[in-house]
Chain A
Amino acid sequence: DIQMTQSPSSLSASVGDRVTITCRASQSISSYLNWFQQKSGKAPKLLIYAASSLQSGVPSRFSGSGSGSDFTLTISSLQPEDFATYYCQQSYNSPWTFGQGTKVEIK
């Protein structure tokens, strides 16, 4: 199985901050990388697919980059509604696997 490792596991940030979350795959996955946001008690929401494609309806402050084994999710200006847990997920190989999550908390 391909292991997905996110860093950091948690972070504290203020409204307006630029936030970066990284995701590393245990082998090259080309651009088969998705990012999800999950708020407490809710289903995950797709933010980014194919490493850098913004899902319809997702604010443009979210962006994704990377290819191969190293990827980044960036929130350009953190908003109150962005406090949540973020997961990366690879769809390059079966079984699909997720990172352990990054919890973004209010500073």
Chain B
Amino acid sequence: QVQLQESGPGLVKPSETLSLTCTVSGGSISDYRWSWIRQPPGKGLEWIGYIYYSGSTNYNPSLKSRVTISLETSKNQFSLRLSSVTAADTAVYYCARVASSSFFLHCDNWGRGTLVTVSS
């Protein structure tokens, strides 16, 4: 069973860059898409984007100018960078594996999530 674990700072200052890493264990990072999703406290889920193992990406247009998702295949990790953060970026950030069944994409394995607070 594949497991995912988010890591990174829990506190980021406004205008700085949020950086998180997701470590994948129990399976290879190849042959899948890998996604980031976030959830502000007490609110719903927002998809941030995903990266394919080939390196191609698909981002939410609402965040596209500030988001970079990258892969480090040698470490079985993928990462999220979100620049120029504000308090509105305070959320639990989840990483997830994206499975495909006859072109139907779905996040079938999730990390436990990590709370990132944007505050000075």
Contacts and interface: CB of A to CB of B under 8 A. Distances in A.
Given A98-B44, A98-B46, A98-B47, A34 B58 contact: no
A91 B106 contact: yes
* Binding site secondary structure of chain B: strand
B106 A46 contact: yes
Given A44-B94, A45-B110, A32 B44 contact: no
Contacts, number: 60
Contacts of A101: 44
Contacts of B102: 50
Interface string A88-107: 01010011111111000000
B66 interface: no
B101 interface: yes
Interface in B14-40: 37
B104 A50 contact: yes
A57 B37 CA distance: 23
Nearest to A94: B58
Interface in B89-120: 94, 99, 101-102, 104-108, 110-113
Interface residues of A, number: 24
For the side of the interface on B, what is the size category? Answer: 20 to 34
B73 interface: no
Contacts of A32: 104-105
Contact of A43 (B44, B62, B99, B112): B112
A89 B94 contact: no
14 contacts: A36-B45, A36-B107, A42-B112, A43-B94, A43-B113, A44-B94, A44-B110, A49-B108, A50-B106, A89-B45, A94-B60, A94-B61, A95-B60, A95-B62
Interface of B: 37, 44-47, 58-62, 94, 99, 101-102, 104-108, 110-113
The 6 closest A-B CB pairs, nearest first, are A49-B106, A50-B104, A43-B110, A96-B47, A95-B60, A98-B45
